[in-house]
Amino acid sequence: MELDRLYHFALLAQFAFAAITFFSLLFITAPYGRFGRLGWGPSVKALYGWIIMETPAVAMIFLWFITSNYNLVSIVMIVIWQSHYLRRSYHYPFTMKGRNKPFPIMLVVFAIIFNCMNGFVNGYHVFHMRSFDVEWLRSWQFIGGVFLFYTGYTINVQSDNILSKLKRGGDGSYVIPFGGMFRYVSSPHYLGEIIEWIGWALLTWSWAGLAFAVYTIANLAPRALSHHKWYRDNFPDYPSQRKALVPFVW
């Protein structure tokens, strides 16, 4: 019963977090990567920052899973979740171009809090509150959600890989990315990530999944806009038909 109350509280907090994040990021670009700057306190190497801040997302879901009466549906769901987070936590940080750059500890702490909260609400809902029977695997929500999730996953991984292979100048200067969905938008890795979590919301048919999808949009849409503006300001030959985040639209 206590956990139920905590779940509802955390769920509301997540929607509130999304609103605060969105409006803050419209005015302050998160200070890491190309937007890294002084004045945000001590930092760690980005490589360690990413591993530390993403690990709670792996661990929380795993804990909820092993303490549940798991069945085939919950096994499929944990495989879907971890297919994203194991890569993000333990593979991506070693391949990213900016892995030796400083990453503010403040952002690491913020991300740990978010990932604990998000892992709590999603894991609690999927593995404890709701019991999915095997018929769920044949529902339109599950099939459509899995399709969306892995479409987004493919776009996200492909775009991350393109960025990790870009040849920079000797001074570490940035270049214009080409190929894959970069043909249409400046931040296809964010587009892929957003599609993934909309897929998760659909396949779990849950407020917890919806809260995560909304938060991902709130976090990544303003940053996509900042990247887009930065490319346009810094590269006079930047492809003019390329949009910020949504192909042909925005």
Ligand X SMILES: NC(=O)c1ccc[n+]([C@@H]2O[C@H](COP(=O)([O-])OP(=O)(O)OC[C@H]3O[C@@H](n4cnc5c(N)ncnc54)[C@H](OP(=O)(O)O)[C@@H]3O)[C@@H](O)[C@H]2O)c1
- 3's tokens: 């956990």
Residue 151 C-beta: closest distance to ligand X, Å: 14
If one asks whether residue 219 binds ligand X (CB under 6 A), the answer comes out as yes
190 is an interface residue for ligand X by CB under 6 A? yes
Is 166 among the residues that bind ligand X (CB under 6 A)? yes
Give the footprint of ligand X on residues 26-85 (CB under 6 A).
33-34
Contact status: 189 vs ligand X (CB under 6 A): yes
216 belongs to the binding site for ligand X (CB under 6 A): yes
CA 147 to chain centre: 17
Judged by CB under 6 A, which of 14, 29, 43, 156 binds ligand X?
Answer: 156
Residue nearest to ligand X (CB): 98
Kindly state whether residue 243 participates in binding ligand X, applying the rule CB under 6 A: no
> Could you say whether residue 232 binds ligand X (CB under 6 A)?
no
Binding site for ligand X (CB under 6 A): 33-34, 96-98, 101, 156, 160, 163, 166, 168, 174-175, 177, 189-190, 193, 216, 219-220, 223
